Homo-oligomer: A and B are copies of this chain.
Amino acid sequence: MSKELSERKKKILHALVDLYITTGQPVSSSDIQSKYLPEVSSATVRSELSALEALGYIEQPHTSAGRVPLKEAYKFYVDSISASGSEATALTDQETAFIRDRFFKRLEHIEDMSKAAAKIISDATNYTSFCIERSSMDIEIEEVKLVPLKGSKAVVLIVTDKGMLANKAIDLSPDVKEEYVETASSLLNKIFQGRNLMDLENFDLSEIDVEIQGFKDILDEVLKILRIYVSSHSDTVVVEGALKMLDYPEYSSVEDAKTFLSVIEDRENMAQILSDDGSIELSVRIGKEDNGVDKCAIVTAAYKVGDEVVGQAGVIGPERMDYKKVIGVLELMKNTMSAVIDGSTKHITDGHSED
């Protein structure tokens, strides 16, 4: 494996994967010969195939069948296409323009970029796609405000450097005075101002213990809001076109389809699986031991702002997927999305999107 393959072996291996990707059928020596190597005979191809089989690249489903690529073969194939910089050929300019265009159309409409991107990727490739937003908790509290409303209600506003965080109506006992609200407000500010959400667990409340009497309820309320925010804003995963996988013969049994879908549906699991190569620009994982899903390959691209990875977009499809196209689409979307995020300051408004 570590040994370099001969040029002809490379050509044959590449041809075999190419053919297998398009047909889905075991590839015979004469297929390769007639379509890729007319200068030699099929017998020659056969002996090369034997050698490749011995090297662990390919295998035969049974004695009298053609050859099928193994994991190693796909790896070789992916390397060869990404090395040769052939993404240029994978997507035409029109396709690129079209995809971009559709993405921005959608973006205007839904606001949620991950959703839009997942949809576009799935549509463009015809495979199941996903987007993961790695949520950052690097948020600094700028201001906490207790705003009295009519009746005995009040609302807590938490303003951060990234936007407004959360609000919640709470009930005050009916006989509170305006003064109380102001004191509480300033106390809350004293406690929380300048704090970072990442350190939530470390908030040391003992130091301000003395002043707390009478305000404990409100303090708890605010902490609760923050905790809920942190816990509910873990990485978000959106999946698009989950059913598209069922179009491929790899998943023609309901059993297999079911296990596939249940893995995909488990968002936490997905986030977990893909967290490993979060920082890799473009990663390809093939086979169950690699990615947790049987008979599948997962291609992911990480999109960044500056050096920070803010999310991943990817495709999950059969091992024999159209890697050229997928890689092309993902590269495109990666760049597009990075640019979009970079351009717009992101506000963490609570609830509705702001468009």
Would you call A155 an interface residue if the criterion is a C-beta within 8 Å of the partner chain's C-beta atoms? yes
Additional A-B contacts beyond A150-B159, A166-B351, A228-B355 (6; CB < 8 A): A143-B150, A149-B157, A164-B169, A166-B352, A225-B352, A228-B352
7 smallest CB-CB distances across A and B, nearest first, come from A351-B351, A350-B351, A164-B169, A246-B258, A228-B352, A143-B150, A167-B167
C-alpha gap A228/B352 in the complex (Å): 7
C-alpha gap A350/B350 in the complex (Å): 7
CB distance from A225 to the nearest CB of B (A): 7
Would you call A89 an interface residue if the criterion is a C-beta within 8 Å of the partner chain's C-beta atoms? no
C-alpha gap A351/B258 in the complex (Å): 33
- Residues on B with C-beta less than 8 A from A168 are 164, 349, 352, 354
Residue total for A at the interface (Cβ-Cβ under 8 A)? 41
In the assembly, how many copies of this chain are there?
A: 2
Instruction: Tell me whether B147 and A142 are in contact (CB under 8 A).
Output: no
C-alpha gap A95/B94 in the complex (Å): 61
Which residue from chain B places its CB closest to the CB of A354 in the assembled complex? Answer: B168
CB distance from A255 to the nearest CB of B (A): 9
Would you call A353 an interface residue if the criterion is a C-beta within 8 Å of the partner chain's C-beta atoms? yes
Mask for A141-178, Cβ within 8 A of B = 1, else 0? 01101010110010101010001101111000000000
Given contacts A143-B149, A149-B143, A164-B155, contact A169 B349 (CB under 8 A): yes
Instruction: Name A70-99 residues within 8 Å CB distance of B.
Output: none
Which residue from chain B places its CB closest to the CB of A111 in the assembled complex? Answer: B228
Which residue from chain B places its CB closest to the CB of A257 in the assembled complex? Answer: B254
Would you call A265 an interface residue if the criterion is a C-beta within 8 Å of the partner chain's C-beta atoms? yes
Instruction: Name A100-148 residues within 8 Å CB distance of B.
Output: 142-143, 145, 147
- 28 A-B pairs with CB atoms under 8 Å apart are A147-B147, A147-B157, A150-B159, A155-B159, A157-B167, A159-B169, A164-B167, A164-B169, A166-B351, A166-B352, A168-B349, A168-B352, A168-B354, A169-B347, A169-B354, A228-B352, A229-B352, A232-B352, A242-B265, A243-B258, A243-B261, A246-B257, A246-B258, A247-B258, A252-B254, A253-B254, A257-B257, A350-B352
Would you call A206 an interface residue if the criterion is a C-beta within 8 Å of the partner chain's C-beta atoms? no
